[in-house]
Amino acid sequence: MTEVSVLGATGMVGQRFVSLLANHPFFRIAALFASEKRKGLKYGETVNWVLEEDIPESVKNIELRALGEEVPTKIVFSALPASIAGGIEKELAENGHYVFSNASAHRYDEFVPIIVPEVNPGHFEAVKYQNTKGFIITNPNCSTAGIVIPLKAIKDTLGIKKLVVFTMQAVSGAGYPGVPSLGIIDNIIPHIEKEEDKIKTETRKILGDFSGKFEYADFKVEARCNRVPVRNGHTEVLFIETDKKADVSELKEILKNFSALPQKLNLPTAPKNPIIVKDDKFRPQPVLDRNAGKGMAVTVGNIRKADIFDFTLTVLSHNTIRGAAGGSVLNAELFLKDGKLEV
């Protein structure tokens, strides 16, 4: 068993980490961190637990640490707000820790990869250029995490010329307590700060290449983001212009048959089928599809030819599992199993 620590363990993403790591076959939680006000308090007594499953027994009595205290493990999962993550993650990497971060603070750094194991495991190579004893690996923001998997399948077979993304994002994406209830019940908020730029940049970085430096994918991306009154699960409508023309049935086959390294290695958090294709035009729906593949599969439906661009389709993924903690745990599994980590 490899011991791990979680920073930001009491937040929306931190709770997912705790839930995914508590009974993990490779990892054992050794330390949990939250803000100064919880220092020394028992996790089970102070956390405002919001997940469906109970708080794992094994973590209830762990005493929370504050930043600045010793981080006792080589592997560290970070679910800190970006404003705080920047400095601490860098310091940890300099001191030899392997940081798997959900925060945006380092995603656009010259040698920090944004990894989705089904899409760009080769980008791990970039950490060799970080010039620190340890490293930082990030995963994408929650709306990018879901779409890059079907986009990878499409890019490799048909090529992508242009992409338009329209999101309907769950409230949990804003953390806890996040958006005030009076702001979101019976409402839609047509802007999420910095989210559109994140989609535009991260999609092209992840689908690009790395050979000594990152070469961003050369297709154009436009995005519009909306917060909707859904608890978990981001729904995104894509319009895609492809290089090679295909019909809807061919596209469905491409998506259904997509499988990648995490599936080949049979990693514990990898879904058997990373993309689930629905023929029902009324799917995907957050309530019905967000937990597909234990929250790690991406569901694609309502696929049709578009009069403008070539295809339009709807993608749904779980924002705190595939879009955050689950994606990060899968990154760590891949690098352990692939023999890239000495821990």
Just list the catalytic residues: 142, 234
Name which of residues 298 to 327 contact ligand NAP (CB under 6 A). 319-320, 323-324
* Residue 223 backbone dihedrals phi, psi, to 5 degrees: -145, 145
Among 20, 27, 38, 321, binds ligand NAP (CB under 6 A): 38
Does residue 41 interact with ligand NAP by CB under 6 A?
no
Does residue 12 interact with ligand NAP by CB under 6 A?
yes
What mask, x for binding ligand NAP by CB under 6 A, covers residues 273 to 292? --------------------
Please tell me the count of residues contacting ligand NAP according to CB under 6 A. Answer: 31
Does residue 167 interact with ligand NAP by CB under 6 A?
no
Q: How far apart are CA 40 and CA 143, in angstroms?
A: 35
Q: How far apart are CA 130 and CA 107, in angstroms?
A: 13
Q: Which is nearer to ligand NAP, 158 or 321 (CB)?
A: 321
* Residue 95 backbone dihedrals phi, psi, to 5 degrees: -90, 15
Does residue 142 interact with ligand NAP by CB under 6 A?
yes
Stretch that binds ligand NAP, among 79-87, 200-208, 222-230, 335-343 (CB under 6 A): 79-87
Stretch that binds ligand NAP, among 31-39, 199-207, 222-230, 297-305 (CB under 6 A): 31-39
Among 22, 30, 41, 84, binds ligand NAP (CB under 6 A): 84
What mask, x for binding ligand NAP by CB under 6 A, covers residues 56 to 75? -----------x--------
Q: Which is nearer to ligand NAP, 233 or 241 (CB)?
A: 233
Q: How far apart are CA 92 and CA 133, in angstroms?
A: 9
Sign of CA dihedral 70, 107, 12, 266: negative
Query: Which position's Cβ is nearest ligand NAP?
Result: 11
Minimum distance, C-beta of residue 14 to ligand NAP, in the bound complex (Å) = 5
Among 4, 5, 11, 111, binds ligand NAP (CB under 6 A): 11
CA separation, residue 185 to residues 131, 182, 188, 222, 283 (Å): 47, 6, 8, 28, 23
What mask, x for binding ligand NAP by CB under 6 A, covers residues 182 to 201? --------------------
Q: How far apart are CA 88 and CA 102, in angstroms?
A: 13
Stretch that binds ligand NAP, among 11-19, 241-249, 254-262, 278-286 (CB under 6 A): 11-19
Name which of residues 224 to 263 contact ligand NAP (CB under 6 A). none
CA triple 9-13-17, angle to 5 deg: 65
CA separation, residue 3 to residues 9, 73, 326 (Å): 15, 6, 17
Nearest to 158 by CA among 2, 332, 311: 311
* Residue 81 backbone dihedrals phi, psi, to 5 degrees: -60, 145
* Residue 62 backbone dihedrals phi, psi, to 5 degrees: -70, 130
* Residue 83 backbone dihedrals phi, psi, to 5 degrees: -65, -25
Minimum distance, C-beta of residue 270 to ligand NAP, in the bound complex (Å) = 19
What single-letter DSSP state applies at residue 80?
-
Does residue 79 interact with ligand NAP by CB under 6 A?
yes
How far, rounded to the nearest angstrom, does the alpha carbon of residue 219 sit from its chain's CA centroid?
A: 22
Among 5, 14, 297, 298, binds ligand NAP (CB under 6 A): 14
CA triple 76-79-186, angle to 5 deg: 160
Q: Residue 263: enclosing H or E segment and its boundaries? A: helix 261-264
**Residue numbers of the site for ligand NAP (CB under 6 A)?**
8-14, 34-35, 37-38, 67, 79-82, 84-85, 102-104, 141-142, 172-173, 175-176, 319-320, 323-324
